[in-house]
Amino acid sequence: MDWTVLLVLALAGGFFLWRHQKNTERAKVAADRLAKDNRLYQHIKAGMREYNWRKDKENFFGVKSGELLFETAHLAAFSVSHFAELRVGFYFKDINEYGLYGFFAGEPGEYFDSYYRTDETFKKEGRLLHDNS
């Protein structure tokens, strides 16, 4: 058998093995990101349930941006100003992460919810990859 053919086959096999390893690493990073984003998404939804429950009992109108709306054992909710959306920022104590919820009402019957990963200033907006469950 010709040694050149074996060498080419060995190099091609090594290349495909290297590419497979790189793709596996990328898939793990993507799966980890999706899991973290899903966890934060569920926390933000729970925070909004608490916010909606409290908003009728407590007066959140007129609270300045960045001010504390309420605090529980698990989270702190903050008012966040935005030119087009109603926004609520959250700090989740158990996972030590910040989340941001945005609500926009468009045409009659059109409502849009936005979920973001953010920092303590609530200025950074990293859109969450999440399952809609």
Tell me: the pLDDT tens digits for 69-87? 999 999 999 999 999 889 9
Domain ranges, ordered by start, for the chain? 3-127
Do the Cβ atoms of 80 and 92 come closer than 8 Å? no
Q: What pLDDT, on the 0 to 100 scale, is given for residue 30?
A: 81
User: 131 or 38, which is more confident?
Assistant: 38
Q: What pLDDT, on the 0 to 100 scale, is given for residue 106?
A: 80
Lookup: tokens for 124: 């950074």
Instruction: With a cut of 90, say whether residue 93 has pLDDT above it.
Output: yes
pLDDT band at 96 (very low <50, low <70, confident <90, very high): very high
- 3-state secondary structure (DSSP) of residue 104: strand
User: 112 or 12, which is more confident?
Assistant: 112
Lookup: tokens for 48: 């909004």
Mean pLDDT across 1-22: 69
Q: What pLDDT, on the 0 to 100 scale, is given for residue 62?
A: 82
**What pTM was estimated for this model as a whole?**
0.79
Q: In what order do the strands lie in the sheet with 126-127?
A: 68-71, 75-80, 86-92, 97-105, 111-118, 126-127
Q: What pLDDT, on the 0 to 100 scale, is given for residue 109?
A: 83
Tell me: the pLDDT tens digits for 13-62? 676 666 767 777 787 888 888 999 999 999 999 999 999 999 888 888 88
